[in-house]
Amino acid sequence: MNQDVFVSIEHLRGQVTDLSYGMLAAARQVAAEAGGEVVAVLLGHTGQHLAQGLAADRVLSIDHPALADFTSEAYIQAWSYLLREYNPRLALFGDTSIGADVAGGLSIRMGLPLVSACQVLLVENGELLFRSQICGGKIMAQGKLPPTTALVTMVPGGYRAEEARGEEPSEIISLEAPPLEDLSVRLKEYIEPEISDVDITKENVLVAVGRGIQNQDGIELVQELAEAIGGVVCASRPVIDQGWLPITRLVGKSGGQVKPVVYLALGISGAPEHVEGIVNSQVIIAVNTDLAAPIFNVAKYGLTCDLFDLVPILVDKIRLSRSIQV
């Protein structure tokens, strides 16, 4: 086993994900302190151009039609081959719809330890540590990574993508694919979201609702506030799953990354999957009756009053304020 850090480069529809750059940044920091090289792993088909701008010491590229689009089985088979051949210290995957489908299978197949939800990797006294964020962002769990090839799935937030973007890798090595056969998972097609609704990623004022909105009637109340304020309503996952708002209004890990001037979060706890989508907001104002809600860690202003008491009064005052201005 060497000290190299392998990084799974996630790409969708021809774009490398931000998290991939974040993981490269993590790898660079670990390698700088613990020794070893940063190796970006690019699996795909006719997609070698994606290797450009990856700040790694080496890129290992495997090109095969079965890897053209992500499917769990093909990726697991390719990675099994790589881990056996190269025996790195760490292999970093996104804690995502791509990485999480692969890491667990590799852990069992290859008998390697796996830690998930990792936000930061640390080097202390020559030992590698993981620090993971669990329980809706309320708990951090930290420990040593076992002294064998370790698999890590990473969440955003610990590193800045910019730190690993733009430089050219020192070397791009094309590897021949191992046999990728008897695959039981096949991509049929992608389905793009309808763009008939607003694009929340371009809005300057967002009024967001979470579980605290309780039901569809609550949405109408918030809609009034959004109109009064000149903004648009968006939501966290539970609201979308209930069908109270369309998926185009989803903010977070599976939804949109927003960058408004004001993000007014009503009844949102601030779980990591949601916070991922709002970190580029200029000002976050959070209303939640739970003072311990993680949303208050990222908000600039907070209130613990009941949103159903607050919103009607706020709507009236904003309307009054606007009419006075005119």
Partner 1 sequence: MKIVVLIKMVPDLVEELSISPSGIELDTTWLRLKINEFDDHAIEQAILLKEQYGGEVTVLAPEMEGVDDALFTAAAKGADRLIQLSGKFDNSWNNHALARAFLPLAQELQPDLVLTGVQAHNDLDGSLGPLVAALMGLPYVGYVAGVTVSDGVATIRKEYPAGLLAEMEVILPAVLGIQAAEQPPRYVAFSKVRQSMKTTTLDERPAGESDPQGGVTVEHMFQPETGEGATMLEGDLTQVTDKLVSILHELDVI
Dihedral angle computed from the Cα positions of residues 38, 167, 164 and 236, in that order, rounded to the nearest 10 degrees: -130
- How far is the C-alpha of 312 from the C-alpha of 308, rounded, in Å? 7
Q: Any contact of residue 136 with partner 1 (CB under 8 A)?
A: yes
CB of 95 to partner 1, least distance (A): 9
DSSP label at 134?
Answer: E
Contacting residue, 20, 236, 269, 281, with partner 1 by CB under 8 A: 269
CA 74 to the chain's CA centroid: 22
Of residues 234, 237, 302, 244, the one with CA closest to residue 272? 237
Q: Any contact of residue 292 with partner 1 (CB under 8 A)?
A: yes
Is 36 in contact with 173 (CB distance < 8 Å)? no
The label of the residue with tokens 């970006």 reads 40
Residues in the chain: 326
For residues 1 and 261, which CB has a smaller minimum distance to partner 1 in the complex?
261
Q: Any contact of residue 117 with partner 1 (CB under 8 A)?
A: yes
CA 5 to the chain's CA centroid: 20
Contacting residue, 65, 84, 85, 143, with partner 1 by CB under 8 A: 143
Structure tokens at 119: 């936000």
Contacting residue, 14, 139, 196, 323, with partner 1 by CB under 8 A: 139
For residues 32 and 317, which CB has a smaller minimum distance to partner 1 in the complex?
317
- Show the binding pattern over residues 197-236: x = contacts partner 1 (CB under 8 A), - = does not: -------xx-----------------------xxx-----
With H, G, I as helix, E, B as strand and everything else as coil, classify residue 7.
strand
Contacting residue, 1, 32, 173, 305, with partner 1 by CB under 8 A: 305
Q: Any contact of residue 161 with partner 1 (CB under 8 A)?
A: no
Q: Any contact of residue 47 with partner 1 (CB under 8 A)?
A: no
For residues 176 and 323, which CB has a smaller minimum distance to partner 1 in the complex?
323
Q: Which helix (H) or strand (E) holds 272?
A: helix 272-275
Span of 32-40, 42-50, 139-147, 215-223 interacting with partner 1 by CB under 8 A: 139-147
Q: Any contact of residue 310 with partner 1 (CB under 8 A)?
A: yes
Contacting residue, 65, 146, 147, 166, with partner 1 by CB under 8 A: 146
- How far is the C-alpha of 315 from the C-alpha of 123, rounded, in Å? 51
